[in-house]
Amino acid sequence: MKNLLLLSALMTMSLFGHTQQTKGWEFLQWNTSKDSVEKVLKEKNNLLSEPWALDANFNFQGMNTWLIYNTQNKLIQVHQRKTFSVINQKEAAEFYKTKKTELITKYGKPQTVSENKKDSVVNLLWKLKYTRITLEYDYRYKIIDEFGAGSYWVDIVFEPAKSE
């Protein structure tokens, strides 16, 4: 039994170590050319769906996803967002909790957690060896349009780690 527990612990540490070493987002590497990114996206098409936002590149794991490139057309950021109507505050809070749990499970505890109660915003920050991840939950009541769309949102931004 001890051997099984030790093996399980070693496998968990190995998997956690691997996620700490990730040099990109999911299946895309930082500083990859736009052409190479598009090839990978074609290969992974079964994981992607049409975005809900007109300007998003695609939808991945329930979130609109934008790929940001620098002036040399190299991938430098992945921005994901899901917005919720004013009547879906509970759904927004549950989605935030789910994404937070997924990120903690994959990358460990965030280095920074801050909440601005005045602006109704929670921010979590992971500083991995090669990737910096910011999770933001905006739960401030606001009306964006006549339907109450975009009142609450969950944002996740992945970008190369900054050298300090």
What is the DSSP code string of 37-50? HHHHHHHTGGG-B-
Decide: 74 and 33 in contact? Cβ < 8 Å.
yes
pLDDT at position 21 over 70: no
Single pTM value for the model? 0.81
User: Does residue 78 sit in helix, strand or coil?
Assistant: strand
**H or E element at residue 146:** none
Query: Tell me, what's the pLDDT at 51?
Result: 81
Number of domains making up the chain: 1
Q: What is the mean pLDDT of the chain?
A: 84
Residue range of the domain that includes 43: 2-160
pLDDT digits (tens, 9 = 90+) for 114-142: 999 888 899 999 999 999 999 999 988 66
Residue 32 near residue 75 (C-beta atoms within 8 A) = yes
Determine contact, residues 133/156, Cβ cutoff 8 Å.
yes
On the question of pLDDT at 164 being above 80, the answer is: no
Q: With contact defined as beta carbons under 8 Å apart, do 65 and 58 qualify?
A: yes
